[in-house]
Amino acid sequence: MKIRVGHLYPDYLNIYADRGNIAVLAQRAAWRGHELEISLLGMDDPIPPGDHDLLYVGGGQDREQLLVASNLAAKADQLVESVERGAALLAVCGGYQLLGRGYRGFHGQDMPGVGLFPLETVAGERRMIGDVLLECELESGRKRTLAGFENHAGRTRLDAGAVPLGRVVAGFGNDGRSGFEGCRVGRAVGTYLHGPLLPRNPWLADWLLGQALAHRLGGAPELEPLPDDLEAAAHEVASARARARGGRF
């Protein structure tokens, strides 16, 4: 089956090897007999609700975010409706910030947001950098860990009642204070974790693929388990580095 993926602003939001997330999704889908059909969505491209099973927004520095922010905000209704109609979404770092209500950059630039995630972000004086480890529960009663790397000046504050992606075990997370990282709205996930994220966290890649297939089929299928020995080893190395760093919030 074809899984239709919309990759937003790949020429701008592509920092820290985050294109690798798409490569991981494509390979894990292929191993199970599915195909990723990837549409590169730039400045002149709409985001028609229903056309994509999964949307992806990568990270970028303030300069790149400023270049795309107004264009992305103009497509807010399309993107929000896509998620409301069941599309999955992954947004990383700069993409995560712009999918909130807005982002005030390091030099005071006010960038409009999409308003999908119930949060706002303002850049602080000091960057928050290093390995990070989260405890997540995307499926009720099943806790798992996410390991990655954060490098951001943004202080992201969730609205009261907003659902974080996970609890910070080690690292800074959204703001270095709350103990939370990322945000989740339905099948949409936003996070600061770079590296890229999915190679060392195959369970999250499979969760996103399952949600994308659920959008296409009307229900999430059981995905055949894969031999993830190398991925598990990468996760353990990253987790150990984060634990050695300790909590920072």
Q: What is the mean pLDDT of residues 24-44?
A: 97
The one-character DSSP state at 181 is: E
**Please, what's the b/e burial string for 8-30 (b: 16 or more CB within 10 A of its CB; e: otherwise)?**
bbbebbbbbebebbbebbbebbe
pLDDT in tens, 135-168: 999 998 999 999 999 999 999 999 999 999 999 9
pLDDT at 248 over 70: no
Beta-strand (E) ranges in 30-163?
A: 35-41, 54-57, 88-92, 102-104, 110-112, 119-139, 142-158
Positions annotated as catalytic residues are 93, 194
φ, ψ of residue 218 to 5 degrees: the values are 95, -5
Q: What is the mean pLDDT of residues 93-106?
A: 97
Q: Note the pLDDT of residue 219.
A: 86
pLDDT in tens, 169-228: 999 999 999 999 999 999 999 999 998 999 999 999 999 999 999 999 998 888 999 999
Cα 119 from Cα 124, distance rounded (Å): 16
CA neighbours closer than 13 Å in the CB half-sphere of residue 78: 16
CATH 3.40.50.880 for domain 2-245? yes
Q: What is the mean pLDDT of residues 221-243?
A: 95
φ, ψ of residue 122 to 5 degrees: the values are -130, 135
